Structures are given as structure tokens and as C-alpha cells.
Structure 1
């Protein structure tokens, strides 16, 4: 076992959204007049936290995401769900409300209110544990939704030619392998079974799952 020789601690006097107590009493919940009622779910690297909430318009899903000020800028910073909301014909949650604020001089935070999906994930894991009981109509709807998404123009980029080259060269080092992408389409970018529900509904990521 290696001895730990250095440890970095950042003392800010502020909580991150991963603090469930601060999340329940956050500016986002107060701004929309919501009371958190469900168990909070942490997102990727604890950058976001979300839970079901109750408010004037009934049950909804409240998500709070944070980012350092240096990264919370540009065309696509903190805007994943907002950009996806423009795809209003796809089977997915809607985003009726957003609110942003700055915590001192260190973080930018955004609260997002999303409509719930009266459905359950199929299954609630990244990979299917076995055969799934989904009829042909469900698969047809999924294919139709993904085809519609493929034809949607976007400026957001998940993988480009440079990243493809890096991954191919890392996997086949010394082999001189090349892969040239000739056709690009808009895709989910991180689609897993936990992101899909029955009846059909698609969410952006696991922490955005408003069931």
C-alpha cells in the first residue's frame, strides 16, 4: 500500500448540491415554490442532484446542477436539458422551468423543473439482466424516435473525428488502424437501458429520470 503524502482540501464555507439538506432548501426549490418529497439521486461525479417534488402544479422532478464559473460559460454549458427540450415531439420529459444563480465567486448553479413520466425504467440498470418483455410496438416506437433524433440538426458534439482517432489508436497501438467517419448523425450520446422506460420514454441521463 502506497503512503499518502499529499492531500488537497478546498475550504469554501459552501455546500455542493450533493448536500441533501442544502438541496431541499435550495434557491431552486424556493424559486419555484416546491417542496422536495422524494429521495435525492446524485448525478455524474456528484455534479447534480435530483428528486421528485410537489408544488402548485402538482408532482414534478427538480434537478440542480453546478459547475465552476470557469466552465459554466459558452454555447453548451449547463444547457443539456434545455437544448433537448426543443425536441418536443420525442417521448421525453418537458422542461417548463429553469433558474440560475451564482454561489459567491466559485460556482454557477441551475435548477431545472421537469415533468414526470408515469412509467418505470426497463430495467433500472445500464445493461439488461435478461430477456425483456417488450412488444413489437414498443421497439417500433423506439426506432422511430431514434430516427427522428438522427435527422435533427445540432451544434452539440459528443464524439468528433479527433476523439475517434484517439480511441482507435489507443486500442490498436502500432497497427496503423484508421477509421474515417463519412456520415454524422444526432444521437443520444449515452443511451442505456436505465434511460428508457415502458411505455416508451427517453431521458438524457440516469439522474434526469423523472419517474
Structure 2
């Protein structure tokens, strides 16, 4: 990946500014600051097996740049460059460099970030704008919901109402103090309130922030339609708890929330 990053910098006439670029999940991506002839940028390099270098995750950032409203605060994707070598497919994505700092290195929040009031206002506006964006992309499949929710939460699914979601809306994909939303690989259709539910449940270790998420997004979370979204996020956490440390740590609070908020069939 370091070799691929160096190749991308050379090919795109970039100067690498980052001696310790940031690794993505499972080493699939490597990202860091660069300079272009005009300004500072952010280079993200993605690696995938050639037969998997297509589809939702591969093209998510590109389609987000092309299709989402400009009012949703996110880095502008300036350029994409693809190549293959040594049995791997690579994609270099050159983004606008943002001044915002990622709020948490873990998807699950462990501290109160003390975000300004404007951040919360922009959060609500951004999610409302995203929810109304038409797309045929799928973030969460109905087949998964109807299988996993009863299995891992003990609750029935019922009717599902759909809207558009980021799909991976947790604290390491959010920047502050000026709201910035990162990593648009997974965006698409999901149950109404999916992003709000994920942010709330991933905040359960920090009660003050969880309460603030709930209050800010109550117009979505406190509706009957958001029930499926909450149960789906709970199922995702509990399903992965035995193999992912931050999900394992969150499993207890999620179970407590399920017991308090939902009547379970078993």
C-alpha cells in the first residue's frame, strides 16, 4: 500500500506530506495529506482484488460526488486514477483537504466531543437533505434485515419505510468543529432513520452525547418508521460482537437499550 501510494503521488504529480498516513479498516485503504500544484489535498488509496474492483463500495465515493446535494458537507472529490499491478486493483482518490478533525478514531464514541451548536444544526440539515436524495443504490438489504433482526434482537421487523442514508454513519467518519462527513462508500437506501440510529447507538458509552443525538434527531428517531433502523443497527452490533472489539464493548449497552425500548418476542 505504501508503494501504491508513492506510485499514485508520482503519477498525479503530488507531493506526499504525510509520513504516517492513516490506515482504513483491515488495511484496505491508506490516506494522508498531499500537495498539488495549486493547494493542499488529501489522497486516499484503495486496494481490492481485481474481480471485486467494482460495485457499491468501489464506486460509492464517485457516485456521491456526482449525485449528492452540494449542501451536504463533505470533501470534494477532484480526481480518480485506477491501475492494476501484482494481482491487485488500486484506486487513488484525490480530495479537497478539509480543516476539520475526525471526532473519534473508533467508530464508537468514548468521550464527549463538546461540539458547537452549529455542528448539531448542520447535522440535522445534512441528514434531512440526504434522506430525500433519490438513488437506486442499496446500503442495507431487506433480506439481511428480515433475517438478522429477529435472530439477534428477538424482535419482529414489520413494515419497512425506506430513505437514503450514508450507511456507515459513525464517529470516525465525522469531523469537527465544522461538520464534515467522510467515507461515502456505503451510501444508499436504508430504513428511515438508519444514520440517526447508528450515531445514537454508537454514542451509548457517553450518555451526554447520546442524549444530544437523540434530542437533535428526535424528528426522525422518535417516529414509528425509525424502529426498524434502530433494530437493524442493534442486530449489526450484536452479530459482530464476537469478532470486532469495539462492537464487543458496545454489545452490553445495546442489549440494555433493547430491553428498555422494545418488547421482544423471545
The verdict on a shared fold, with TM-score over 0.5 as the criterion, is yes
Q: Which interval holds the TM-score relative to the shorter structure?
A: 0.7 to 0.9
Q: Distance in 2 between matches of 1:77 and 1:129?
A: 28
1:180 aligned onto 2:162 = no
The worse-fitting range, judged by mean Cα deviation, of 31-40 and 118-127 is 118-127
Partner of 2:44: 63
Higher-helix-fraction structure: 2
- Give 5+ residue unaligned stretches, structure 2: 185-266
- Correspondent of 1:79 among 39, 44, 59: 59
Q: Distance in 2 between matches of 1:171 and 1:60?
A: 42
Note closer, same or farther for the CA distance 1:130–1:66 as it changes in structure 2 (3 Å cut): closer
Superposition TM-score, scaled by structure 1 size: 0.77
Deviation digits for residues 150-191 of structure 1, max 9, x if unmatched? 01112221212111122123215xx6x530343111111111
Q: Distance in 1 between matches of 2:102 and 2:57?
A: 28
Partner of 2:226: none
- Correspondent of 1:189 among 164, 167, 178: 167
- Compute the displacement of 1:70 (Å): 1.4
Q: Distance in 2 between matches of 1:47 and 1:124?
A: 16
- Compute the displacement of 1:77 (Å): 5.3
- Compute the displacement of 1:76 (Å): 2.8
Equivalent residues in 2 for 1:92-111, closer than 5 Å: 92-104=74-86, 106-111=87-92
Report the RMSD for the aligned CA atoms in angstroms. 2.0
Bigger Rg over Cα: 1
- Give 5+ residue unaligned stretches, structure 1: 1-16, 206-211
Note closer, same or farther for the CA distance 1:142–1:70 as it changes in structure 2 (3 Å cut): same
Q: Does structure 2 conserve the Cα–Cα contact (< 8 Å) formed by 1:64 and 1:110?
A: yes
- Compute the displacement of 1:24 (Å): 4.2
Q: Does structure 2 conserve the Cα–Cα contact (< 8 Å) formed by 1:43 and 1:49?
A: yes
The worse-fitting range, judged by mean Cα deviation, of 142-151 and 193-202 is 193-202
1:23 aligned onto 2:23 = no
Note closer, same or farther for the CA distance 1:68–1:151 as it changes in structure 2 (3 Å cut): same
Partner of 1:7: none
1:137 aligned onto 2:118 = yes
Q: Distance in 1 between matches of 2:83 and 2:102?
A: 32
Q: Distance in 2 between matches of 1:36 and 1:61?
A: 9
Superposition TM-score, scaled by structure 2 size: 0.62
Partner of 2:13: 33
Q: Does structure 2 conserve the Cα–Cα contact (< 8 Å) formed by 1:71 and 1:77?
A: no
Q: Which has the higher contact order (CA 8 A, sep 6+)?
A: 1
Note closer, same or farther for the CA distance 1:77–1:133 as it changes in structure 2 (3 Å cut): closer
Q: Does structure 1 conserve the Cα–Cα contact (< 8 Å) formed by 2:80 and 2:93?
A: yes
